[in-house]
Amino acid sequence: MNKIAPVEPETNPNPKLIIDPPSWMRFIIRQVGDRAINPAKRTRRRARAEAARVKSGAPHVVEYFHQLDDPYSHLTAQVLNKFAARYDIVIKPRLINATGGKNQPRLAELAVWAHRDAMLIAPHYELNFPQDAPETPSLDLQSLASNYLAALSPEAFLAEIEAVSTALWTDDREFFFQHANPSADGEEARAAGSKRLAELKHYSGATFYYAGEWYWGVDRLFYLEMRLQELAANKSDLRGYLVPRPDIDVSGVDASGLTLDFYPSLNSPYTSIIFDKTIAVKDTCNIKFNHKPVLPMIMRGVAATNTKGNYIFFDTKREGECLGVPFGPIITPIGAPTRSAYALLPWAYEQGKDEALMSSLLRAAWSEGIALHKKSGMQRAVTRAGLDWNEACKQFKRDDWKQLIAGHQHEMVESMGLWGVPSYRLSGPDGEPDLMVWGQDRLWLVAAEIRRRAGK
């Protein structure tokens, strides 16, 4: 039996100032976060960008960053030319290498996860990811592909990227023998693209950059389409999106024969906007449900950066708007408030109030600006969940929560191969493999799979 690691690592690559921030640092994080999610600032920024574009007579310019060994880039390659044809835009495609480092920790595991995730979502988006595709394409074919693409004009790149990417992921060597271009320098092109990505303060492949904002892959492309349609940049009256976000729908489903494990985190912006939606799915379809909170990634020793944090704040805001869920004002509950909150969990489980407690805490921290590091803030969140505050005060010194949370983390990381939150595991019926996914933008997939499996 594998030994379960301590709930927090003995050494953590993240600075203590971030893991256990003093009040002044929480205030700074709040200021940064609130700037990133402020709708009025976003509106003004967009207006300035559009006014400058119109004044200069420039077209709508979209930069696209393609990572050859990234499964999400392969999915995006299948819609890129259609996207270019649909809007009055100029796309500047760039090849990049995987960023790695603190922005993409656990890079090898990320490749495994992305491969699995792309294969799961592709059919729902009417796209294709080869069932027998390797976890990453061979290095020699990547080199041939980058050499070939680097020599193309932007227009030719858009026209041919789907065929090139398909040949790469299906190990079609004959394609590259016929399209070899040894005179081009793909490595130089990838290095230049990676440099540009870093200059613009981002880190992922399959990303679009337009007038100060980022859009990741087919999952976020509809946000960019929405923006371009608002600017009347579409070439026809056709509305709708190339890759619309599927609905989260389990209405009329009896999933009592299935089990859903849910791994949220108190310091996760993404968890905050999907927690109540997840509980609603559970309540609607009567699925067996296990609520298994884990510590924030930073407290678990997963490296973090300001660049990634700023993007997550911005992205969570628009995801919340899409879901009709408030996000902001925020006061991070990282560190001591999280430990205190989790110390209440064993007691809350006993009373069947663990879900209500987590929901109340998340709303307090991420949409109400309630300071959980202050007694008054914690009291407000706890009592709102239907728990007695005087009794709660007796629970804060408990340490049995550590073994409980460490067990959840062991399941999620070691058994499921996931480390981000929120994560989900759907089990049943017999004969079906477990569905294991992470991200607030995968609850629709969980719901779709519940419908399918319950239908059996």
pTM of the model: 0.96
**Same domain assignment for residues 214 and 282:** no
Residue 190 lies in a domain: yes
324-357 as b/e: b if 16+ CB within 10 A? ebebbbbbbbbbebbbbbbbbbbbbeeeebbbbb
For the CA atoms of 349, 347, 406, 317, the dihedral, rounded to the nearest 10 degrees, stands at 70
User: What confidence score (pLDDT) does residue 403 get?
Assistant: 97
User: What confidence score (pLDDT) does residue 337 get?
Assistant: 98
**Same domain assignment for residues 265 and 218:** no
Residue 287 lies in a domain: yes
**Same domain assignment for residues 421 and 289:** yes
Taking a C-beta distance cutoff of 8 angstroms, is the pair 295, 91 a contact?
Answer: no
User: What confidence score (pLDDT) does residue 180 get?
Assistant: 77
CA distance 349 to 120: 33
Question: Which domain covers residue 217, as residue numbers?
Answer: 41-230
Q: Kindly report the CATH number assigned to the domain that includes residue 297.
A: 3.40.30.10
CA distances from 141 to 178, 179, 415 (A): 13, 11, 33
Residue 356 lies in a domain: yes
Domain boundary among 230, 251, 284: 230
Domain boundary among 214, 230, 246: 230
Beta bridge partners, 215, equal 208
Instruction: Give the number of domains in the chain.
Output: 2
Residue 46 lies in a domain: yes
The phi, psi pair for 66, rounded to 5°, reads -110, 125
What does the DSSP assignment read for 207-263?
EEEETTEEEEHHHHHHHHHHHHHHTT-BSSS--S-SSPPPP---TT---TT-EEEEE
Dihedral (CA of 452, 453, 455, 456) sign: positive
**Same domain assignment for residues 168 and 288:** no
User: What confidence score (pLDDT) does residue 386 get?
Assistant: 98
**Same domain assignment for residues 215 and 288:** no
**Same domain assignment for residues 198 and 273:** no
User: What confidence score (pLDDT) does residue 1 get?
Assistant: 45
Is residue 322 packed enough to be buried (19+ CB in 10 Å), middle (13-18) or exposed (0-12)? middle
Q: How many CB atoms lie within 10 A of CB 364?
A: 25
**Same domain assignment for residues 191 and 126:** yes
**Same domain assignment for residues 355 and 439:** yes
Residue 338 lies in a domain: yes
Beta bridge partners, 208, equal 64, 215
Residue 201 lies in a domain: yes
Residue 284 lies in a domain: yes
CA distance 402 to 329: 29
Structure tokens at 346: 């064993």
User: What confidence score (pLDDT) does residue 238 get?
Assistant: 77
59-94 pLDDT, tens digit each: 999 999 999 999 999 999 999 999 999 999 999 999
Helices (H) and strands (E) in the chain, counts: 19, 8
Domain boundary among 230, 250, 272: 230
Residue 245 lies in a domain: no
**Same domain assignment for residues 212 and 335:** no
Helix/strand/coil for 347? helix
Profile the chain (456 residues) by mean pLDDT over runs of 10 residues.
82 94 95 94 97 98 98 98 97 97 89 96 97 94 95 97 98 91 87 98 97 97 97 89 97 98 98 98 98 97 90 97 97 98 98 98 98 98 98 96 98 95 97 96 98 91
